[in-house]
Amino acid sequence: MSAAIKAPGRPGKPGAPSTIALFASGRRHGNTGRLLDMIASAIGMEVVDLAGLSIAPYNYEHSNRADDFEPLMQRLLEFDQIVFATPVYWYAPAAPMKLFLDRISDLLDLPDLKPWGRRLRDKQAFVVCTSVYAAVPAPFEAAFRDTFAYLGIRYGGLAHVNCRRGYDSAAARAAAAGMVEKLGVSPKNTN
């Protein structure tokens, strides 16, 4: 297991949904990272940076099984909710996120991983993103929404901030608060 993937465990308050985030971007502390960190700090959510993992592209021979995809998937299956965070790059997610989404095909192809794929049906997923658009481009959201629907994952919604003129802290705070509400997790007590 890669050092970037923590040992199994389910943080959070008893009865509250457990939530983890996958992050993919060329800049960990760029616009999307800042927005995600605001959400994560509000609820005590773990963030996994896909850039720190070795996830090979999907291939039909499945000769890539020794990479970090399966340990990461084992970790994700311990949680009720998964947040997918990535900036919008050319109407699509960042490359590491796309690689991860493509590799989910392993859970549909490989007999020993098919039970993992079925466990995804119990999950709820959310998307956090930034872009230079007033609204999220339809192809970007559809890529996630349609993937989740195919896998039987409930789509809980999206938080987006337009950063055409730079990072807007007020808009980010509003988007983060809206996402925390969608996640159904009580914010951590900051007193």
3-state secondary structure 95-161: HHHHHHHHHCCHHHHCCCCHHHHHHHHHCEEEEEEEECCCCCCHHHHHHHHHHHHHHCCEEEEEEEE
Using a pLDDT cut of 90, give the percent of the chain over it: 85
Mean pLDDT of the 109-118 span: 96
CATH 3.30.300.30 fits 19-183, yes or no: no
Residue with tokens 């039970």: 115
What integer pLDDT is reported at residue 5 of this predicted model?
A: 47
Mean pLDDT of the 99-112 span: 96
Using a pLDDT cut of 70, give the percent of the chain over it: 88
- Whether the pLDDT of residue 2 is over 60: the answer is no
Mean pLDDT of the 33-47 span: 96
Mean pLDDT of the 158-162 span: 97
- Whether the pLDDT of residue 12 is over 50: the answer is no
What integer pLDDT is reported at residue 4 of this predicted model?
A: 53
164: left (phi over 0), alpha (psi -120 to 50) or beta: alpha
What integer pLDDT is reported at residue 49 of this predicted model?
A: 97
Mean pLDDT of the 129-153 span: 96
- Whether the pLDDT of residue 130 is over 70: the answer is yes
What integer pLDDT is reported at residue 186 of this predicted model?
A: 66
What integer pLDDT is reported at residue 122 of this predicted model?
A: 86
